[in-house]
Structure 1
Amino acid sequence: MTIQQTASKQIAILGSRHVPLGHQQLIEILSYALALTGNRILTSGATGTNQAVIRGAVRADANALTVILPQSLASQPRESREQLENIIHLVEHPENNHLPLSEASILCNREIIEKAQQLICFAFHDSNVLLEACQFAEDMRKVVTLFYFD
């Protein structure tokens, strides 16, 4: 009931690429429910967590989803590209194609967090880029919910 009474928010959902199928299904359900209740979902385009977020949000309301890529769409893996080509609100950063993916991802995560009011993150204890994103969000005084897979 509290979830439904809360005003809609911009919620960033980020996480690891290496996610067991069962966890992906839970993330997809969470994303679906958040989008269905009027929230705007922001994520990136990687496999794993982000693909699950995209599936859930698109199923609820494709207009509620914004995907921000760390690099261009053409630089994404083929299996991600197929899903991303149908996203209504897709932001590419081809100017970052020359950067290593980890550096481009840090910039991308920060952009996503800056646009959001809240961050939900799914990580492992050694997911340095994601943990850095959580710290960045906390430093910006965003609401941060961090789930660990391990």
Structure 2
Amino acid sequence: MSQPIEVQEIDTLAQELATIQQTSSKRIALLGSRHVPITHQNLIEVMSYALVLGGNRLMTSGATGTNLAAIRGAMRADPNLLTVILPQSLSRQPRESRDALESVVHLVEHSDNDQLSLAEASSLCNREIISRCQQLICFAFHDSHTLLQTCTEAEEQRKVVTLFYFD
């Protein structure tokens, strides 16, 4: 005899299915590793471009690699639908990121985190990003501790999480 499904599990499943099937715009967070081959960066840029062209609001952080590719794609589609939340102040970002971030309309800096390590500040930043989104798309390696923790936290908040591994 099979175990009865708990009501909370049914509610969670119904909520996740509703988010996936939602045809109106969504708030989607796109996060990932800094160490990404250029071919993968191109794919991520095309994905973010398509998501924003579809009317979705895209959120990411300011790191190189995945996040910078997401920024480039979203900026090409519609800069007004992109929000970039930095873990620290703009001056603490790599030069490559700063050049792209200067033209971002909705940019949130956290200079109050400048005294923290990048790992600590990134964890706080990722928590803020997932608190603002309905869905998380993440590109990571199996040893990307901060990103995998972010995915776990997003799942605990009942967000739809799509995790792609590079390795």
TM-score, normalised relative to structure 1? 0.96
| Match among 121, 129, 150 for residue 112 of structure 1 | 129
Runs of 4+ in 1 over 3 A off after TM superposition: none
Residue by residue, what CA displacement relative to the aligned partner does 1:52-100 show, whole Å, maximum 9, x if unpaired? 0000000000001000000000111111111101100000000000000
> Alignment partner of 2:125: what SS?
helix
2:142 pairs with 1:125: yes
One-letter amino acid of the structure 1 residue matched with residue 156 of structure 2: D
Aligned residues: 148
CA RMSD, Structure 1 to Structure 2 (Å):
1.3
Alpha-carbon separation, structure 1, partners of 2:97 and 2:24: 32
> Alignment partner of 1:35: what SS?
helix
- Identical positions, percent: 71
> Alignment partner of 1:54: what SS?
helix
2:10 pairs with 1:10: no
| Deviation at residue 7 of structure 1 after TM alignment | 1.0
> Alignment partner of 2:67: what SS?
helix
Larger radius of gyration: 2
Alpha-carbon separation, structure 2, partners of 1:18 and 1:52: 12
Alpha-carbon separation, structure 2, partners of 1:82 and 1:89: 15
> Alignment partner of 2:78: what SS?
helix
Alpha-carbon separation, structure 2, partners of 1:31 and 1:96: 27
Q: Greater shift after overlay, 111-120 or 5-14?
A: 5-14
Alpha-carbon separation, structure 2, partners of 1:77 and 1:139: 31
One-letter amino acid of the structure 2 residue matched with residue 61 of structure 1: D
TM-score, normalised relative to structure 2? 0.87
| Match among 49, 52, 58 for residue 75 of structure 2 | 58
In structure 2, the residue matched to 1:100 is 117
| Match among 55, 75, 87 for residue 38 of structure 1 | 55
2:153 pairs with 1:136: yes
One-letter amino acid of the structure 2 residue matched with residue 112 of structure 1: I
Alpha-carbon separation, structure 2, partners of 1:24 and 1:68: 19
Alpha-carbon separation, structure 2, partners of 1:105 and 1:23: 22
One-letter amino acid of the structure 2 residue matched with residue 89 of structure 1: H
In structure 2, the residue matched to 1:76 is 93
